[in-house]
Amino acid sequence: MIGIKYLNDAHLKGFEKYKYNCVDTSILSVYVMHPFWNKVVLFCPRWIAPNLLTFTGFLLTVVNFFLIAYYDYDFRAATETPIPIPDWVWILAAINLFVAYTLDGIDGKQARRTGTSGPLGELFDHGLDSYSAVLIPIYMFTIFGAADLPPVRMFFITLNVFMNFYLPHVEKYLTGVMFLPWGYDFVMWGVSITLAITGIFGAEFWQIPVFGMKPCHIFELTLYISAVITSHPIIIYNVYKSYRDKTGKMRSFSEAIRPLVPLSSLFILCTLWVLCSRNGIIDMEPRLYFVMCGTLFSNICCRLIVAQMSDTRADLWNGLLNLLSVVTLFSVLPYPSLGLPELSIDIERYLLYGLTVCVTIAHLHYGAGVVREMCHHFRIRCFKIPTSPLPQMTPPADDMEDIEL
C-alpha cells in the first residue's frame, strides 16, 4: 500500500511454517463456552468467512464505544448529570458485547468447518482483540463515572489491562505456546452482565456500597489482584519451565526482553504526560487520551504477534513512539522556567488531537497492509471463502476443544 511493505521474506516464510499451538484450561471456557460455541457455529452458513465473523464482532465493540461516548464523552453522566444515559443504550451494549464474544469464539471453529484455517485468521483475531483491550474497559469507566473513579486511576487500570493482554503474547514469543489466560472469559461475562444490570437498574445501582466499599473500587482492586496472583506468576512459571525443560525457543536474555522495551516505553511516556501535563490532559480529554494510548498499544502488540507467529525477531522500538515522545516533551516542558509563556490548554488539546489522528491512520494502514500482503502471499481473500477451500492447517474441531482460541 502506497509503496510500503510491512512483511519481509522472513515473515512470510515464517507464516508458511506456522502451526497453531494454544492451551486453554479455563473451566468456564472448556466446560461452558466451547460446548455452547460448538452448537452456535452450526447455525453459521459455510459460505461466511471466519474473518468476517471476527470483524463483525469487533465492529460491535466499536459501535458500543461510539454510542456510549455520544451520551457520556467525559465520564460524567453516571454520577454528575441530571440527564442519565438511556437504559436501552446499556442493554444494547450488553447484547453487542456478548454477540461479539460469541463471534470471537466461533470464528476458529468456522475456519475448521470450511477448511480455511491459517495464520491470517489468528493474526486477524488477536490483532483486533488488542484494540478491544482499550474499548471494553472504557464501558466500565462510563458506568462508574469520573467522580468515583478519577481519570488518572482509570489510566492506570488501562495500563494493567494492556499488560494482561500483552504478556501472554510475550510468553508465546518465548515458549512457542499460547497459554490463554482464564480472565478473558470471566471478564467478557462480567462486563456483559454489568452492562445488562446497568440497563435494568440504572448506573446509580453501582453507587450502593458492598462491605463498605463502592463497586468501582472493588472492580479496581480485583483487576490488580487478579493480575498479580493469577496471571503474571503463571506466565513467569511457564517461561521458566520452557527454559528449564528446553521446550521453548531458548532465546537469549537480550532477545527475550526485546518485546518488553516498546511496551515499557509506551507506559513511561504516557505516564509522564499524565503526571506532568501542564494543563492536566487526563482530566481534560480522558476518553481521547485512552484511545490514543490504546491505538499505540495495539500497534505494538500487533507487531509482536507478527514476530511470534512468524518466529522472527521482535521489534526493539516502535516508530510511532517517536511522535509520542515529541508531543510528550512539548506538553511537559516547564516553559516559564525557560523564559517562555506557559503552554495553553488549547494547544495541548490540539497536540493530543493531532497525535491521535496520526497514530490511528498509521495503525489502520499497518493493519490493512499486513492483511493485504498475507492475502496476496497465500492467494486468499480476507472476507471471502475461496471456491476451492484450502487444506486444513489445524486439527478438526473435536480435537481442539481444550486448546481453541
The CATH number of residue 356's host domain is 1.20.120.1760
Q: What is the mean pLDDT of residues 315-328?
A: 98
**Average predicted confidence (pLDDT) for the chain:** 93
**Long-range CB pairs of 323-331, under 8 A, 24+ apart, other chains included:** 323/355, 323/358, 323/359, 324/266, 324/269, 324/270, 324/296, 324/355, 324/359, 325/269, 327/273, 327/351, 327/352, 327/354, 327/355, 328/269, 328/270, 328/272, 328/273, 331/273, 331/276, 331/277, 331/278, 331/281
Asked whether residue 4 is domain-assigned, the answer is no
When pLDDT is averaged across residues 312-329 and rounded to a whole number, the result is 98
For residue 2, is pLDDT > 70? no
Looking at the domain assignment, is residue 405 inside a domain? Answer: no
Kindly tell me if the per-residue pLDDT of 393 is higher than 90: no
Q: Tell me the residue range of the domain where 58 lies.
A: 9-399
Q: Higher pLDDT residue, 16 or 399?
A: 16
pLDDT score of 396 more than 80: no
Q: For the residues 257-271, what does the mean pLDDT come to?
A: 99
* 2, part of any domain: no
Classify residue 290: in a domain, yes or no: yes
pTM: 0.94
Whether residue 1 is contained in a domain is answered as: no
For the chain, the domain total comes to 1
Residue 388 is predicted with a pLDDT of 60
Is 278 a residue whose pLDDT tops 50? yes
pLDDT in tens, 281-303: 999 999 999 999 999 999 999 99
pLDDT band, very low/low/confident/very high, at 181 (cuts 50, 70, 90): confident
